[in-house]
């Protein structure tokens, strides 16, 4: 089972781009490596999500030369994308806090 749902996928992709622009397979490898392989992100999920984020105005892309031949499409956060990342990060922290309160059965 792949626990990477749409909202979580958007957050993961935005976070992968927060420090530097990346091309598609670099994003995929970054997310999978940083999650310890838990997300198991695949190209079939990655590229539709990237297109959705471009359409939303949260990321933009352009073609850049590659040292390995063909140019690569490189994605970067827009200002709206940085705001969306901050908002989604706050949502995640709120959800995490609520779940921790439920799961960490603290004595009253």
Range of the domain at 16: 6-102
- Say what the pTM is: 0.84
- Determine the pLDDT at residue 2: 47
- Determine the pLDDT at residue 105: 73
Provide the pLDDT confidence category of residue 66 given band limits of 50, 70 and 90.
confident
Higher pLDDT, 40 or 30: 30
- Domain CATH for 93: 1.10.10.10
Strand partners, 23: 74
- Per residue in 34-61, pLDDT (tens digit) is 989 888 899 999 999 999 999 999 999 9
How many independent structural domains does the chain possess?
Answer: 1
Between the alpha carbon of residue 59 and those of residues 45, 74, 75, 84, the distances in Å are: 16, 10, 6, 10
Provide the pLDDT confidence category of residue 8 given band limits of 50, 70 and 90.
confident
* pLDDT higher than 90, residue 106: no
- Determine the pLDDT at residue 1: 34
Please indicate, yes or no, if residue 32 is contained in any of the structural domains: yes
Residue matched to tokens 């984020």: 53
Please indicate, yes or no, if residue 108 is contained in any of the structural domains: no
């Amino acid at each position: 089972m792949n626990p990477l749902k749409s909202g979580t996928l958007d957050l993961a992709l935005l976070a992968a781009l927060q420090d530097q622009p990346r091309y598609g397979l670099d994003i995929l490898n970054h997310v999978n490596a940083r999650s310890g392989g838990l997300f198991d992100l695949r190209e079939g999920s990655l590229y539709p999500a990237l297109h959705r984020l471009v359409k939303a105005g949260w990321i933009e892309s352009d073609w850049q030369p590659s040292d390995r031949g063909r140019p690569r499409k490189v994605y970067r956060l827009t200002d709206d994308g940085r705001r969306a990342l901050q908002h989604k990060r706050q949502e995640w922290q709120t959800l995490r806090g609520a779940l921790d309160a439920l799961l960490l059965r603290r004595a009253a």
